[in-house]
Amino acid sequence: MDLIVANYNSTTLPGRLPRGSTVGQSSTFLSSSNPCLDFFFQIVPNTTPSESVAEKLTNAWAHNPLTALKLICNLRGVSDTGKSDREGFFTAAIWLHDHHPESLALNVGVFAEFGSFQDLPEILYRLLEGPDVRKIQKEERLSRKGRGRSGIRWFRRGGGGVRKKKRVESSVMREIRIARAEERSKREKEEAKVLREEKIVAMAKKLIDRYGND
C-alpha cells in the first residue's frame, strides 16, 4: 500500500491539451498529443489542405515512421481499406520523395496494392510537372469553359418569364462568326497538338535526367 501511495504521489500528469472549436462551434481538443493519431483523425478527404497534410505527416513520421507509412497507405486505401483520399495520398507521396526517397521507392508496390497501379505514373507525373499540376489544369479548364459561355445572351420574354436565347446579329453576320469560330478552333487544335508533342519530349528529357540523378 505504501508503494502504491508513493507511486501515486510521484506520478507526473501531462499538461492540459490545447482546445479549440469545431466547424459547428463545439468545444474540442486540437491535438491528442499523439501525432500519428492526429494524422489519422484530422486528415479529411477533399478537405484538408496539402500544407496541413505535409505538416501532420512530418510530425507523425518523427513520432513513429512505420506507423506513419501505414497511415499513408490508409489514405489511398480503396474498397473499405482506407479513406480513398487520392489528393492527400499524392501529397504524402511527394513528401516521401522529398524527405525519404528510399522509403518511397521500396513501398511503391505496396501503395499500388492499396490504391491502383495507375498511381505510380501519376506520382512520377507530379514529380516532373509539380505537385499542383492537376489543380492548375482544372482551373484552366474551368476558365476556358467560363469564357466560352460568356458570349451567350439570354432575354426574358415579357409575361411568361421564360428565358430564351435570341439572335442579335443578322444571318450574314452569323455565318461569318461561325466561319471565324471554326477557323479559330482548327488553329487552336493544331497549336494544342504541337504543345502536346513538345510536352511529351520535355517530359521524356526530364524523366531521363531524373533517372540519371536519383
Q: Is residue 104 part of a domain?
A: yes
Query: Which of 21, 101, 94 has the alpha carbon at shortest distance from 53?
Result: 94
Specify the number of domains making up the chain.
Answer: 2
Residues 22 and 124 in one domain: yes
Residue that finishes a domain, picked among 129, 162, 190: 129
Residue that finishes a domain, picked among 100, 129, 158: 129
Residues 36 and 94 in one domain: yes
**DSSP element (H, E) containing 167:** none
Q: Is residue 29 part of a domain?
A: yes
Query: Which of 40, 39, 54, 65 has the alpha carbon at shortest distance from 91?
Result: 54
Residues 123 and 184 in one domain: no
Contacting residues for 32 by C-beta, under 8 A, at least 6 apart: 17, 38, 41
Q: Is residue 71 part of a domain?
A: yes
For helices 119-129 and 171-213, give the axis angle rounded to 10 degrees. Answer: 100
pLDDT tens digits for 46-104? 899 999 999 999 999 999 999 999 999 999 999 888 999 999 999 999 999 999 999 99
pLDDT tens digits for 156-205? 555 444 455 555 456 767 777 788 888 888 888 888 877 877 777 776 67
Residue that finishes a domain, picked among 129, 154, 181: 129
Q: Is residue 210 part of a domain?
A: yes
Residues 106 and 44 in one domain: yes
pLDDT tens digits for 7-61? 545 545 455 666 666 556 666 667 888 999 999 999 999 899 999 999 999 999 9
Residues 113 and 191 in one domain: no
For residue 40, the enclosing domain spans: 18-129
Q: Is residue 155 part of a domain?
A: no
Q: Is residue 151 part of a domain?
A: no
With H, G, I as helix, E, B as strand and everything else as coil, classify residue 164. strand
Q: Is residue 120 part of a domain?
A: yes
